[in-house]
Structure formats: C-alpha cells, structure tokens
Homo-oligomer: A and B are copies of this chain.
C-alpha cells in the first residue's frame, strides 16, 4: 500500500513544471500583453486553390487589405521594483521571446530571474516570429527558412562542427559545456522559421515598442544586437543601456558619436575561436568598442572564459550557469547606476 501511494506521488510530480514545489512566490503588480506597430498593406493576386489534406482544395482569395508587420509584447511588472527603467528582452534569429522564459532542462530563464531582481520585464516576439504572426507572401516577398534538428548544435557552439548526430546518445558536446544537452530537443522546439527579407520591418516594429514603453534598457541576443544598435540610433534619448549577448553591433565611425552616451555590455561565451562566424563577429565588436572609446563612448566586451566562467555556448541565458551570468549583467547595470540602491 505504501508503494502504491509513492507511485501516485511520483506521477503527480512528473506532471508538474520543474521546481514548482520549491520556489519563492513572486508578487506582480501587473502582467499582460499587447501588440504594437504594423501597417496596412494592399494585396492583390490570383485566387488560389489551397489543399485541404484529403485530396480536396478550397479556393482562397488573397486580395484585400491586410494588417501586417506588427509585433507581440508580454510584460511582467514585479511588486518590488528596483530597475530604474523597464528592461526589454529581444530574441535572436529563428527564435521568439521563449528564449528568456525557460531552459532546455525546464528551469527558470532570465525573464523570471530579472523580474525577481526587480526589473519590469518586457519580452517580445519580433515581426514574423511567434505571436507576432507573419504576412502573406505578396508582402514578405521571400519564404521562411527552417532549421534542421542539428543546426543549432554546431552553429551555436554546443559542440564542434561534425559533432552532432540525430541519435541523442551519439552527440558530442564541447568538454565542460554548460548547455543541458539532455534537453537539446527542447531548444529545437523553441526555434521557429525565419525569413531573410524582413530586417527593416522588424526594426520598425521594435521602434514602435520603444516609443510605447521606453526609456528603457535593452537586453538583446544574436540577431537583435544589430537591431538594438539601429534602434538606439533612431531613438538615442530612449535607450539607457544595451546588454548584447553575442550580437553584432555593426556600428562604425559615422554612428559612434550619436550613441556614445549609451553604455553597452557585449558578452561572449566559450569556444569563440572555434567558430569562424563568431570569431568574425567578435572582431567586429572589439573594433566597435575601440571606435566608441575614441569618441568618448562606453562599449565593454566581456569574454566570459577570461573571468573564469567557462563552457558557455551562444545560449548562455538558458544554460546551467544562467543565474551566474544574470548576476554579471545585474552587477554591470548597478555599476551604470540603473538599479535603485537601498532597496
């Protein structure tokens, strides 16, 4: 009989989100979501026969006015606010705001951690991604690109080129890696298709978010590094700092002075030298930091392994030591006087 109840208890735990039993409650003074931005587009084209899957088709008339290129934002406002400004979390290419919500092994992500640190957190899905939806082919022109199962493993430095295998037991990660490899497929589940033609529309919607929510701090990843820099150039008075997780800034001599008052922290994980893609990006950001310094700006490059924080991939916000890296970010924000002290 004891064994019977024990089995039931195990089954109940398995159904619960990880760690649901052990965490401190979080008091939110508000939470919710909204869509922002977008434009009306006149679409015209021939009536199409769309397959229904049973051999039959349905006629679809694509002609009309469509509301396109808006984006989605969800916010969590903690009762005990310490961050002086809202923190906007922007995801990378082929991803959505889920990047910041959870980890492949089911632990809390940075949304949770920074809300508990006292930041008003705004997590978004960019144009074309997730809950933003995507526009008809007549508007986006190109087509969505899909990442196969192993793409993120090799491209984003979980393991070396050639180390991925579709069979989980045959995948070889970098030694000492922080990525929770047993949950790798959960990272793949987070990934969504992306277009290659939508950068300007993505930026326009982000600026609409900035106009609604900011002044603010931007915390950005990968593809969003460039977008954050462009948004800062468009709204230099609204952006109080940028934390750039392995994203290229793409600034240059012409633009550096216009954003020199905005402190930027660029974080890099491990094994950068084993990836041509990230080596090139890293060189560009080091160069950008020097340009910024020459005009009185403040771009700090932190290579985590040099601080003894080793084994991180491109997805440091969801790896085993994500709390440690969140603390590094928080300390930098405190140093920049963006956190209320004495609270």
Contact = CB atoms under 8 A, between A and B. Distances in A.
A31 B26 contact: yes
A133 interface: yes
A320 interface: no
Contact of A52 (B32, B34, B43, B197): B197
Contact of A149 (B40, B74, B189): B40
A220 B331 CA distance: 44
A213 B53 contact: no
Interface size class of A (residues with CB under 8 A): 35 or more
Interface in A1-59: 15, 17, 19-20, 23, 25-35, 38, 40, 43, 48, 50-53, 58
Contacts of A48: 143
A275 interface: no
Interface stretch (A101-109, A227-235, A259-267): A101-109
Contacts of A131: 96-98, 125, 130-131, 190, 192
Contact of A212 (B15, B20, B51, B191): B15
The quantity of this chain's copies bound in the complex is 2
A88 interface: no
Interface in A52-78: 52-53, 58, 60, 62, 64-67, 70, 72, 74-77
- Residue in A32, A77, A141 whose Cβ sees the most chain B Cβ within 10 Å: A32
Question: Which 5 interchain pairs have the tightest Cβ spacing?
Answer: A64-B148, A53-B197, A35-B189, A133-B192, A130-B131
25 contacts: A17-B34, A17-B75, A19-B30, A25-B28, A31-B76, A31-B112, A32-B102, A32-B108, A33-B98, A35-B98, A35-B186, A35-B190, A38-B185, A40-B166, A50-B142, A50-B196, A51-B197, A53-B198, A65-B150, A96-B131, A125-B131, A131-B192, A133-B189, A133-B191, A134-B144
